[in-house]
Structure 1
Amino acid sequence: MRNPFKNIGPGALIAAAFIGPGTVTVCTLAGIKYGYTLLWAMTLSIIATIVLQETAARIGLVSQKGLSQVLRTQLPEGMLRKFILGLVLAAIVIGNAAYEGGNISGGVLGLQALGSSGIYSIGAVSINLYSLLIGGIAFVLLYIGNYKVLEKVFLVLVILMSLSFVITAILTKPDVLGLLKSSFIPSFPKDSILMIVALVGTTVVPYNLFLHASLVNQKWKNKADLPAARKDTIVAVILGGLVSMCVIIAASSLSGENIDSAAGLAQSLEPLYGSAARYCIGLGLFAAGITSAITAPLAAAYVAQGCLNLGNGLKSRNFRLIWMSILIIGVLLATFGIKPIQIIQFAQIANGILLPVIAGILIWLANQEDLLGIYRNSKVKNGISLIILAITLILGVRAILSVLGIL
């Protein structure tokens, strides 16, 4: 009771990781187009994410290894192992490099919603100074290489993000009865299937599974800590899901408006609910951007470290080289407004394949007695996990078809 934050673990980083600018944008569009009616999809997302993240955390804590390390040791030698490890590297390392520019740009939009544009022109070249600021903050925190420092910083950012979006939702004076009804009773408005899939897809994130398994053994070393790790996961994912719901609720107050981003939401809310709404959305979007800008390179470094057997440690040379490369790419993309469309499309296809593959492998690993012993899955957990696997398969197919222009 003297220190309520003592048992807080990597859950704060995981919650911050899946509430990125992309999630905020998808939730904004869902609220504007469909009002409260798709809140149930976030409830489903929360349940699916808790199941998968708890499994990843359990594997990480019991084995005291990252998920990519476990894959490398548990999968039989041959083409299958090479394919899966190659897919993981492509989807997460290359993918996070491509997405990093968007993470930093999201944080920039949040700062711009608070005031000046941050753009400085040198002749015909325009440079966004805010992206350099966010990149610099991310660099310092990652270079320190101290898990406890990251944990405390992310706890502050998650609290800031949560308060920002919750206050914004409250300012719009939502219909509480309608919220509760929409959160638990599924409905399918016309042309809403892709949006439902997008809402689940922004919450169930492949790289978070790898990040969680690696970070949980930075916090806890004993199998007796599994209940604390499980509680940390459940609380963090529920909190993250509620934050996403608050974005939908806030956007619902502008139902039917022509808004295509969270920055547009901030500008549109101000005339109706005062400058507090704009500042709250701006701060929330900044926190979402900067946390994702840190967790994406961190996850990629952990994945590469495990897949390529590069050794351990946040301060190791290879680990730092990987996250530095991804962060620098992201800063350059955001600073000069470059969008590597083909690389992003490749990453989306790779992630679309990776999500159901990793979900299936997680279920397989969670049933390995030689890996988890008495901590392996129960029949009930397996039943729930198989349902989640079906959902991830749908998400993966949708992501691939969308990139190919079929959907």
Structure 2
Amino acid sequence: MTDKFNDRLQKAKFPPIIASDKGVAWLNGGHLWLYRNDLSDSLNGDFQSAWSSGDIVDVFSRKGTYLGSGFYNAAGQIAVRLLSNNRNETFDSAFWLRRLRYAVEYRKQLKLLNAEGACRLIYGEADGFPGLTCDRFNDVLVIEIFSLGIAKIWPELQAQLLQLLREEYSIRIRLVYEKSLGPLRAKEGLETFAGLRYCAAASADKEKELLPVGIVENGINFSVDFVNGQKTGYFLDQRENRLFLQRIAAGKNVLECFTHTGSFALNALKGGAEHVLAVDISTTALNQAKINAALNPALDSRKITWMKADVFNLLTALNEHRTGEDWDKAAALGKFDMILLDPPAFAKTREVKNSAYKGYLNINYQAMRLLPRGGYLVTTSCSHFMPEADFSKMLAEAARMADVKLKLLARKEQAPDHPILLSMPETAYLKTYFLQII
């Protein structure tokens, strides 16, 4: 090492870590993760004793150029999650409060801070909080933490966020519930955890506090079971897409596949659909969907038929005119002129991408076969590992197999409270296409 290189490292505010040339190019392109195999092993030997998982390090190139500072973790493939490339940052309470204010103020600009509303207040790296999700449902915050650095400072962030919401936005939070589950926790050296983080009523009945909370979205009432529901309890990312559905649903006989909490079904009804057959394989999901329907007496629940069934089998059975109790019940509802496909992520890892492609191809092909000319297909992928180009390619292949042509009405993505960093593809995952069969 040269004296000049050593001098630069001596002036580092935090323990230095040296990136390889490949890592430098990655970070210079705007990405915020430095992977373990992008460290310069030959130059880092003298510094490793100073690195502590969950603490901040300064990242340098092999030439001694400062690249940024971020949380270090020895446990996972992601060695550093960058927080800033400003050498003057101190990462003190004022720094974190400033970032929280930026995030909340942006949601205010989107007009998402209404009293009974719901929105994603913090969306990980896109808001400057790597590995943190924070959803607001009325007076409840539900968080997911998937980085050790955030886990260590969350108590401070929580206190700041609750005070900020209360004093500057007149929003009083009753409950903070953490729901940090799944394999990503283990990759950060963290155990899974679900439980209360904050309760405004010190002597409250905890079971009562953890009951589902009511929200209003697109003029429709929903009950969010944040304890037992998937992820944080409700998928906020499709808000604008469900609203767009209202514009084209009038008079349609709709088949909604993977209804989950019934959100698309109820939006279709609000848009004037004649009838909706809402299908899911989960009894728990269907029960929650029925609860949501009951919360909206202005929507005629007689126009919804709920069915527990496997979507793949149902679509195939309808196309091949198979008989059976469920298939006969679905067929008796007449021809569908709108099909909604909003499946869970088929591709949760890169390794299963090929099989996921086949799954998406199958259900979209079957839906296209079932729809008449002029019918509508609304189809979604929520997997980052199914990129836009592959999803579009899959739809074109399905159309060829079904011998139909597709007219694109709208190509949409996640709601704007899930902002996308253009330099970080991992922040973009949702793709929803509104198509017409011609």
Length-normalised TM-score, structure 1? 0.23
* Structure with the larger helix share: 1
> Which one scores higher on RCO, CA 8 angstroms, separation ≥ 6?
1
Greater Rg over alpha carbons, structure: 2
* Structure with the larger strand share: 2
